[in-house]
Every structure is written in C-alpha cells, then in structure tokens.
Amino acid sequence: MVCLYIGSTKPYSGKSLTSLIISLKLKERKRLAYFKPVGTLPRKVKGKFIDEDALFINKYLGLKEDISLLSPVIRTRGTILKLLKERESLVPSIKKTFNKLSSGKDIVVASGVGSLESGASLGISGIDVAKALKAKVLLVSLYTDELIADGIILAKELLKDALIGVIINKVREDRIDDVKKIIIPSLSRKNIKVLGVIPEDKILEAASIEELTEELNGKILCGSREKGKELVKNFSVGAMSMESALRYFRALPDKVVITGGDRSDIQLAALETDTKAIILTGKLYPNSLVLSKAKEMGIPLILVSTDTLTTVEKIDELLGKMRVRSKTKIERAEKLFAKNLNFPLLFKDLKL
C-alpha cells in the first residue's frame, strides 16, 4: 500500500483538482481511498464538520468511505488558538484515520492544504503530515515566473527522496517553451522530475453567473435559470461615457458588465452588445426601461450591495480561488491532464 500526498508551494495552486483527476485515473486500476488530512472548508454533515473539498471529491469518485474519515482535522481560527495554547498533537488523529482508510486499499491519495508550510506552528504542515504517513509527495507548483524553481528546490531539500515529482500548473501559452527549455532542465540538475506542464485554461478558471451571484451575496432580478449556469471569462467595468462604453463593449464578447445601479446609459449600452449579465452595484435598482429590456432578452441583472471597486475586488478573489465543481469542467480537466501529465511515469514512481 502506498500513500500519495499532493501538496503545493503556494495556496490556490490547483491541489484539489489535481487530486481529483489523479484519483480518477488511479481508480481505474487500483483500490483507492481519498482524504484531506487537514481541512479548511468546514461544512456540517450529520452533526460532523467535514471539509467541503473532501466531501465533493469523495462523492465524485463514488467512494463509500465513512464521511467522518474524510478530514480528521478541521483547521479554523478557533482550533488554531486552542491548539497553540494547549500544544496538543493532531498527528496521531491523522495517522489513525489513515490506518482505517488504507485497510484493504492499494493507494491512499491525501490532498494538502495551503502551502507545504501551512500548519507548521501546529505540527501539521504538509511536510509533517507527509512524513507521518510515510507518503510519496507530488508537488503542484503554480506558474508565476521563472523564480517558481526556488520554492520547488527548497521543498526538495526538505522532503528529500519523498518528493517524486512536480506538476507546473496554469502555464501561459507564451511561457510554455521557457518552462520546457529553461525551468525543467534547471530542476533536473537538482534531481527533481517534472511530471507535467499543465497549460492555463480560461474555461476551467471561469465562473458561472450563479457562482458570481452567490459569492457577491447578490440578488438576480431577472434572467433564466439556464443563463445562470453559463460560464463567464470576460468582465468589464462600466465607468465611462455611453459612446465609449458602446465601442468597448462591442469589442468584448461573452462578458459580464459591472456598473452602478444608477448608470442606465451604461446598462442599455451593455444590453445592445454581446453581454451575459449585468452586475448592478450600490444596491441601486435599475429603471423600468432597463429591467424590461433585460427581461425581454433573458439577460440576468444581478443586484449587489457593495460599491463597484469592492465588487471587482471580490470577483478577482473568487477567480483566483475558483473551485471546479461542474462535471463539464472536470471532464475538460481530465483531457487536459491526460495530454500534459506523464501518468505512466507517475505510476512507475508510485510502484503501481
């Protein structure tokens, strides 16, 4: 039996999606269990707090494990303060859960949280957990620039032979050659294998209108349910004259326009172009003409209480932390990973 711990050098690098895609592939050939040793997204289910990601992935994989085993430690501000004060070790709880899950299995996939050092003050960093589980570690590194090698090399020094490889994730198309010709050889000289280079995919990072509405605590004034499921890749802030807005909006298809609820001129300009939804800021309702036209066209109008700047910041934050939940996105990610991740080499390193 082997344990594969999937960690990262930075938060929001794509660990959960990577864990899901690799688990789907492993499940085709091996008896698999999955868990997230340390959870940070608590959701109450049957009286117990379970990490949302762990719950979703377990369900998507069709695994029948007791949900209480999916995230033995839930990290919240309250538990952090309590543990810092009492200095209680959580590692035994994680190991006990792992032993139960691993019984009768060929492999257990453990998904990390935050970065490798997250939780170090509590003794439950990614490195602590991986060592406790005697896991082989796969590192997901979010591409930012050429200096991503720094964090990977430091991780290698800490993990030593436990690190079996790296996935460089969300690489812009114009940087893929640099990664392959410069970064991979430099890591190879440090005896670090890059198992995959995953290109940036705008659709995987897109949000649905429903997700935007939920994140912004908004209210949909009109628009069909089908429209709410559509993905949005482009955003435009309407803070200019109507003439300028029309020119700009025409050049940007499939967009969501963010503008003050009192800017009916901008709203009408948006409705004359290829617009998927309009977010009305400042809790200001649109006038009857805008509402009537949007209803007629089936374009969602979303009312939010925050000002335009705050709304834009919230959307940026959401897109940076986008969690893939839809079957369509997951199937797209499977194809992307199948093309760009060396699964045979990964399985060989896992001795599977």
Q: What is the pLDDT of residues 170-195, one digit of tens each?
A: 999 999 999 999 999 999 999 999 99
Lowest mean pLDDT among 80-89, 246-255, 291-300: 80-89
Domain limits of the chain?
2-204+323-349, 207-320
Residue 87 pLDDT > 70: no
Residue 84 pLDDT level (bands cut at 50, 70, 90): low
For residue 335, the model assigns a pLDDT of 97
Residue 115 pLDDT > 80: yes
SS3 30: coil
For residue 344, the model assigns a pLDDT of 95
Quickly name the fold that domain 2-204+323-349 has. Answer: Rossmann fold (3.40.50)
Q: For residue 301, what are the contacts with CB-CB under 8 A and spacing of at least 6?
A: 220, 221, 222, 223, 267, 277, 278, 280, 286, 290, 291, 294
Report d(CA 37, CA 176) in Å as an integer: 33
Residue 299 pLDDT level (bands cut at 50, 70, 90): very high
Residue 14 pLDDT level (bands cut at 50, 70, 90): very high
Alpha helices in 28-73 (DSSP H): 52-61
Q: DSSP character for 145? A: S
Q: Mean of the per-residue pLDDT values for the chain?
A: 90
**pLDDT tens-digit map of 117-138:** 988 888 889 999 999 999 999 9
Quickly name the fold that domain 207-320 has. Answer: 3.40.1390
- Number of C-beta neighbours around residue 35 at 10 A: 27
For residue 208, the model assigns a pLDDT of 86
For residue 132, the model assigns a pLDDT of 95
For residue 86, the model assigns a pLDDT of 66
Residue 320 pLDDT > 70: no
Single pTM value for the model: 0.83
Higher-scoring residue by pLDDT: 345, 66: 345
Say if 2-204+323-349 and 207-320 have the same CATH topology: no
Lowest mean pLDDT among 86-90, 172-176, 200-204: 86-90
Residue 314 pLDDT > 90: no
